[in-house]
Amino acid sequence: MAKLKKVMAEHLSKHRFEHCLRVSDYAVKLAKQNGLDQQEAALAGLVHDYAKERSQADFLAKIDATGLPADLKKWGNPIWHGVVGAAFVQDELGIEDPTILQAIRLHTTGGGHLEMTTLDKVVFMADYLEEGRDFPGVETARRVTDESLNQGVFYQLAHTLSYLASKEQVIYPKTFDAYNDWAQYLKQ
């Protein structure tokens, strides 16, 4: 873990590295609350944004090199750093555990209730709720998530979608599907 922290610090700005440390800490808190292995949560939280500061050219080359669907290319860093970022983590950090790689992949998109593991949900929520976050409603989001990890995931998906729509920004189809899936699962 100490070695990984060093590599993360070398690859990221101070601000992003510190975010990763806080996500790791928050992931441990959520892991304790949800009966998940704390080491696994700490590790996935630490490395989740490993690829966040890579160039567009790096991501495009990685999509080709790993055989990811070419239509991913029309998206951008906010989606790529998870979906494609997992491949950088695997190739450059040597993390092969598919459960960790999936948590990295899904942190930028979310996923349906049957797809997301507890680790995926923990990383997704720790990224949203870490102690440095101060968006309006963060305290409510933390309370909802303390009560139910699933309700927290749904809260984040609903609020992210409504934020993106209010800014007239594109919404990744998988995120839309994830929202509908959780709405049907939790609300019907």
Amino acid making up residue 83:
V
Instruction: Name the minimum Å distance from CB 91 to Fe ion.
Output: 18
**In angstroms, rounded to a whole number, what is the distance separating the alpha carbons of residues 36 and 118?**
7
Instruction: Name the minimum Å distance from CB 153 to Fe ion.
Output: 15
- Residue 40 or 49 having the CB closest to Fe ion: 49
- Residue 19 or 150 having the CB closest to Fe ion: 19
Instruction: Name the minimum Å distance from CB 68 to Fe ion.
Output: 17
Helix (H, G, I), strand (E, B) or coil at 67: coil
**In angstroms, rounded to a whole number, what is the distance separating the alpha carbons of residues 171 and 79?**
10
- Residue 22 or 149 having the CB closest to Fe ion: 22
CA angle 138, 144, 145 (to 5 degrees): 90
Under the rule (CB under 5 A), what is the footprint of Fe ion? Answer: 49, 127
Instruction: Name the minimum Å distance from CB 114 to Fe ion.
Output: 23
CA of residue 1 relative to chain centroid, distance: 19
- Residue 49 or 120 having the CB closest to Fe ion: 49
Tokens standing for residue 105: 């992949």
